[in-house]
Amino acid sequence: MEAIMELPARDDEGYLVDPADWSEEVAEALAQRESIELTDAHWDVIRFMRDFYQERQVIPDVRFVIWHLAEHLGAESRNRIFELFPYGYVKQACKIAGMRRPRGWSTG
């Protein structure tokens, strides 16, 4: 039986309190809780989000992630983010990438 990882401090909605506590192992554990099996495409999005956050100290708006995907996969990939994270960018992608919950954003 696989041991369940002890996660860093999270808020009431399951987002990390401190994005610096994130690691790939934390992402795997958070994804498992969201019933998402992380693929290379998921990791591409997550790493883009982490890099964007590290460079700017702000959570990337979903449009930046959509542009990133379009650059790598072509314009037809516009809705790919919602295929990868079916319950929404904020609810799943931001959470798994270790972002704080974006205040004032919808749960989409």
In a domain? residue 102: no
In a domain? residue 80: yes
0.75 surpassed by pTM: yes
In a domain? residue 75: yes
- 88-104 b/e (C-beta count within 10 Å ≥ 16 → b): bbbbbbbbbbbbebbee
In a domain? residue 3: no
| Average per-residue pLDDT for the chain | 89
Q: What is the pLDDT of residue 37?
A: 97
pLDDT of residue 108 exceeding 60, the answer is no
* Tokens coding 84: 């990868």
CATH number of the domain bearing residue 74 = 1.10.10.370
Q: Which domain holds residue 29?
A: 19-96
In a domain? residue 48: yes
Contacts for 15-18: CB closer than 8 Å, 24+ residues apart: 15/94, 15/95, 15/99, 15/100, 15/101, 16/98, 16/99, 16/100, 17/100
**What span, in angstroms and rounded, lies between the C-alpha atoms of 15 and 7?**
11
In a domain? residue 74: yes
Residues 27-39 have pLDDT tens digits of: 999 999 999 999 9
The Cα diameter of the chain in Å comes to 43
Residues 95-104 have pLDDT tens digits of: 999 998 877 6
In a domain? residue 43: yes
In a domain? residue 106: no
- 50-63 b/e (C-beta count within 10 Å ≥ 16 → b): bebbeeeeebbebe
Amino acid identity, residue 1? M
- How many domains are there within the chain? 1
